[in-house]
Every structure is written in structure tokens, then in C-alpha cells.
Amino acid sequence: MEAAKPRGNSSMSKRIDKSWLVFISIENFEHNRCVDLFSRPDGSCGFEEFRRDAEDRSDWTPVQYYSGSVYASREAALAAAMQSVAWLPDAIRQSPSAQKLLPGRRG
């Protein structure tokens, strides 16, 4: 009998360190791209963009090297992600939880 494959963080990108906490993940409308915004133990923040392809067994695969950049706050990481990822501003307009991170938007 084959052992069950682990779930949860086991499919996490190798570019997202296990000590980092993803505080929001925003998908595009097609559900084949996402951006994870995360915080690190030192208090800094960052983000990474991923794609999901059927031929990859629907695993999330990083498409850029954004996770190495360091931002002082969640809001700064989100602003950088919005500048870097073309589809993200449209997706954020449809995400109330992401909108709370925008400057001047508290809910």
C-alpha cells in the first residue's frame, strides 16, 4: 500500500521559505495564476507570483523571482506586487480582503 502524499505546505513553492507566513493569496479570474504576499520572521514582507498548469498536476509553480525582494510592510509588498504583476490590480478590485491592504482602505 502506497503512503498518502502529505497535504498543506508540502506543495508550497521552494521560493517561499517554510518560516515565512503567507498572509494573503490572490488568484486571477482564470484561477491559473496567483500572487502570495508573505511576512518573514524578521518582520519584513515580500511576494511571489505563481502559475498552475494542468500538465504540472495543478501544482503552483513560481514564474518570477520576486520573493527575494524585501519590503518594510504588507502594504509596501502589495504596492510592489501591483506594479510588477500585470493582472493583479484587476484581481484586487474583486478581493475585499486584498483591498483592506490598500492605503486609505481599512475595513
Domain boundaries, the chain: 17-95
Q: Is the dihedral of CA 26, 22, 17, 10 positive or negative?
A: negative
The residue among 31, 71, 64 whose CA lies nearest residue 49 is: 64
pTM for the structure as a whole = 0.78
Q: What is the mean pLDDT of the chain?
A: 82
Residue 18's CB: how many other CB atoms inside 10 A? Answer: 8
Q: DSSP labels for 39-52?
A: E-TTS-EEEEEEEE
**pLDDT tens-digit map of 52-88:** 887 766 788 888 889 999 999 999 999 999 999 999 9
